Amino acid sequence: MGLGAAGLLLQSCGQSQPDGGMMGSGDAASRVYVAPGTHDEMYLFCSGGFSGNVTVYGIPSGRHLKDIAVFSQYPEKGWGYAEETLPMFNTSHGFVPWDDSHHPEFSQTAGVPDGKWLFINGNNTPRIARINLATFETDEIIEIPNSSGNHGSPFTTMNSEYVVASTRFSVPIPQEDVAIKSYKEKFKGTLTYVKVDPENGDMDIAFQILVPGLNYDLSHSGKGPSHGWSFFTCYNSEQANSLLEVNASRNDKDYIAAVNWKLAEQYVAQGKAREMAVSYMDNHMDEHTRAGVSEERTSVKVLDPADCPEMIYYLPTPKSPHGVDVDPTGEYIAAGGKLAAVIPVHSFSKMLKAIEDRAFDGDVNGIPVLRYDAVLAGEVKDPGLGPLHTEFDDKGFAYTSSFISSEIVKWKVSTQTVVDRIPTYYSIGHLCVPGGDSMKPWGKYVVALNKITKDRYLPTGPELSQSAQLIDITGDKMKLLLDFPTIGEPHYAQAIPASILAPRSVRFFKIEDNASPFVTRSEKDARVERKGNEVHVYMTSARSHFAPDNIEGIRVGDTVLFHVTNLEQDWDVPHGFAVMGARNAELLIMPGETRTLRWEPTQAGVIPFYCTDFCSALHQEMQGYARVSPVGSTTELSWSLGD
């Protein structure tokens, strides 16, 4: 039945839409059909762009499995509402409740995604988040100082020694009140290396490199022979500060910055970095209390290339490059020039030779520019219009997205020759081959992450869902299998076999490990305590009641903190908690976890509260009352259950 329905759906699409490259509908339906009760083959982690969060889909079905709240308050998860989650949003600018998330990036071991963590950048207020892939929750958000527009981030090195961050917008560093026209003299960029603890994933900024004032756009790290280097695209070599669409498009070539980070580590060890006073926040979700802790950091080590010879070189790259992608062998470095007629593919071994031969073509603020012909492996001709990003398969082929011509172009890495192309609907940005930026692409699919949807789905007013497309790459010709809508902009995505993640997925939090200072471990410990104007309710929830469920003695003017512990020790039994008139939130509490809701009642009366997450046949009975008396009332504080 499912097969027939899916087939019909695809057929009806095929009749009203161009179906360039589409597999026969029956074949496509069978390739994406995941029977009810069975599981997808892979997880796809898709950033939400302006949503600030991450969405998880099953591949090949396109099933929407979960939203992971990261940089944006998200009511469905209570993220940014429950008191325990608020510190995760702290920055040097204060509480920032909504950001723009772009590049999910798996942690790697020996160049292969290891399924431990997913890193993602906050683009607007520069930050990197780390998601725990056992809980699918955000465990850390670290702010990046001396940065503005954290776009080229958080690309990982082969063993996740570092995740990197580069400034899209150059700014005065340190920030100061100067004329914008002083751009060329005063503005700088930074490349930041964030150390990742191999045991627990904890992130700390190891060092930053101060670089000339260009726009640093994207990055990838070397692997295999090029391990120890990272590559950053930069545009605006014109150093324009206004009307960049014209003024930053004049030069035929901009650059890829190649950074020898192992050498940078040595310079730091030799004391060549200067300590710079800064302020930035490092926010952790404590594993045992399951509460956020926010710490300010006040210093960062900064390397100046002028003191650090041989640490950084510029590779000329046509024209306004965007993505920079290193193939699985670590030898080829492809750049997507938004305005380029070709895809330049640099050779890492030629780059080393060019450095040895001093094959330089001038410098930028003292940083040598290597000769284009001395580093180039070759150019991909006819790559489509507006090539942006490249991912790789396990058979020596590359797949490049071309935004303007809305297509994916397949080319052979060793010869740089185009072998196939397929249209996308519409305006593709990033694309994702599972493992396609690592040393072990799993191949099989490429997912097109499209900016524009237009007529692909039923109209839903001015705002349309954005869209991903699943394309088969197992044969010589790419074949379109499936369109599926996404939450927010599907900016970039990474996919990993389910067999790596699913066995490690946490089912509930053990109540005996709950180290929250506000935990209530059993119903007999449930209580209410007054501390001045603060009333702390130590409450438990279990199918199908709260303890206590009758509370008296609260007064208008009190701040009531409901610390609700979900006592369930079973998979998929969260409880919710909502109290009438609470202006900030409700709660969603996972089994074994404690979450706190702040409530400031403004009116005397008897106020109901109830469970909002359907939990049992008697979910509708899961309710209680809080009596609120006027200011100055002498009603005694009391609580009960079952009286």
State yes or no: residue 611 binds Cu ion (CB under 5 A): yes
User: Least separation, in Å, of the C-beta of 588 and Cu ion?
Assistant: 10
Give the nearer residue to Cu ion in terms of CB position, either 4 or 75: 75
State yes or no: residue 589 binds Cu ion (CB under 5 A): no
Taking contact as CB under 5 A, which single stretch among the options 204-212, 424-432, 488-496, 608-616 is the one that binds Cu ion?
Answer: 608-616
> What is the helix (H) or strand (E) element at residue 184, kind and residue range?
helix 183-186
Q: How far apart are CA 611 and CA 539, in angstroms?
A: 13
For the stretch 224-227, contacts whose Cβ atoms lie closer than 8 Å and that sit 24 or more positions apart, written own/partner, are 224/111, 224/329, 224/330, 224/331, 224/439, 225/329, 225/330, 225/331, 225/348, 225/349, 226/326, 226/330, 226/331, 226/333, 226/348, 227/111, 227/157, 227/158, 227/330
State yes or no: residue 585 binds Cu ion (CB under 5 A): no
State yes or no: residue 285 binds Cu ion (CB under 5 A): no
* Of 555, 543, 530, residue with least CA distance to 605: 555
| Residue length of the chain | 643
> What is the helix (H) or strand (E) element at residue 536, kind and residue range?
strand 534-542
Number of residues near Cu ion (by CB under 5 A): 4
Give the nearer residue to Cu ion in terms of CB position, either 430 or 575: 575
Out of 218, 256, 615, 628, the only residue in the binding site for Cu ion (CB under 5 A) is 615
Alpha helices in 376-522 (DSSP H): 498-501
Taking contact as CB under 5 A, which single stretch among the options 199-207, 323-331, 551-559, 605-613 is the one that binds Cu ion?
Answer: 605-613
**Cβ(170)–Cβ(215) under 8 Å?**
yes
Structure token digits, residue 466:
């954005």
Taking contact as CB under 5 A, which single stretch among the options 233-241, 327-335, 365-373, 568-576 is the one that binds Cu ion?
Answer: 568-576
State yes or no: residue 575 binds Cu ion (CB under 5 A): yes
User: Least separation, in Å, of the C-beta of 329 and Cu ion?
Assistant: 53
User: Least separation, in Å, of the C-beta of 547 and Cu ion?
Assistant: 13
User: Least separation, in Å, of the C-beta of 590 and Cu ion?
Assistant: 12
Taking contact as CB under 5 A, which single stretch among the options 279-287, 445-453, 520-528, 611-619 is the one that binds Cu ion?
Answer: 611-619
Give the nearer residue to Cu ion in terms of CB position, either 217 or 613: 613
Taking contact as CB under 5 A, which single stretch among the options 55-63, 70-78, 455-463, 607-615 is the one that binds Cu ion?
Answer: 607-615
Give the nearer residue to Cu ion in terms of CB position, either 77 or 102: 77
The amino acid at residue 366 is: G
User: Least separation, in Å, of the C-beta of 290 and Cu ion?
Assistant: 19
**Cβ(313)–Cβ(367) under 8 Å?**
yes
User: Least separation, in Å, of the C-beta of 577 and Cu ion?
Assistant: 9
Out of 312, 607, 622, 626, the only residue in the binding site for Cu ion (CB under 5 A) is 622
State yes or no: residue 539 binds Cu ion (CB under 5 A): no
User: Least separation, in Å, of the C-beta of 556 and Cu ion?
Assistant: 28
User: Least separation, in Å, of the C-beta of 610 and Cu ion?
Assistant: 8
Give the nearer residue to Cu ion in terms of CB position, either 421 or 575: 575
Q: How far apart are CA 479 and CA 421, in angstroms?
A: 10
Distances in whole angstroms, Cα of residue 93 to Cα of each of 89, 284, 302: 10, 18, 22
Give the nearer residue to Cu ion in terms of CB position, either 69 or 622: 622
User: Least separation, in Å, of the C-beta of 278 and Cu ion?
Assistant: 45
Taking contact as CB under 5 A, which single stretch among the options 31-39, 360-368, 419-427, 575-583 is the one that binds Cu ion?
Answer: 575-583
Q: How far apart are CA 563 and CA 553, in angstroms?
A: 17
Give the nearer residue to Cu ion in terms of CB position, either 159 or 616: 616
Give the nearer residue to Cu ion in terms of CB position, either 483 or 613: 613
Q: Where do the DSSP E strands lie in 162-290?
A: 162-166, 171-172, 187-196, 203-212, 215-221, 229-235, 253-260, 274-285
Q: How far apart are CA 36 and CA 33, in angstroms?
A: 9
Give the nearer residue to Cu ion in terms of CB position, either 64 or 619: 619
Taking contact as CB under 5 A, which single stretch among the options 230-238, 295-303, 613-621, 626-634 is the one that binds Cu ion?
Answer: 613-621
Give the nearer residue to Cu ion in terms of CB position, either 49 or 591: 591
Taking contact as CB under 5 A, which single stretch among the options 13-21, 162-170, 351-359, 604-612 is the one that binds Cu ion?
Answer: 604-612
SS3 state of residue 626:
strand
State yes or no: residue 127 binds Cu ion (CB under 5 A): no
Half-sphere exposure for 122 (CA within 13 Å, toward CB): 29
Q: How far apart are CA 207 and CA 144, in angstroms?
A: 11
State yes or no: residue 102 binds Cu ion (CB under 5 A): no
Cβ within 8 Å of residue 454, ≥6 positions away: 425, 426, 464
Taking contact as CB under 5 A, which single stretch among the options 6-14, 407-415, 510-518, 574-582 is the one that binds Cu ion?
Answer: 574-582
Structure token digits, residue 239:
């150093």
**Cβ(77)–Cβ(69) under 8 Å?**
yes
The amino acid at residue 282 is: D
State yes or no: residue 573 binds Cu ion (CB under 5 A): no
> What is the helix (H) or strand (E) element at residue 292, kind and residue range?
strand 292-303
Contact positions vs Cu ion (CB under 5 A): 575, 611, 615, 622
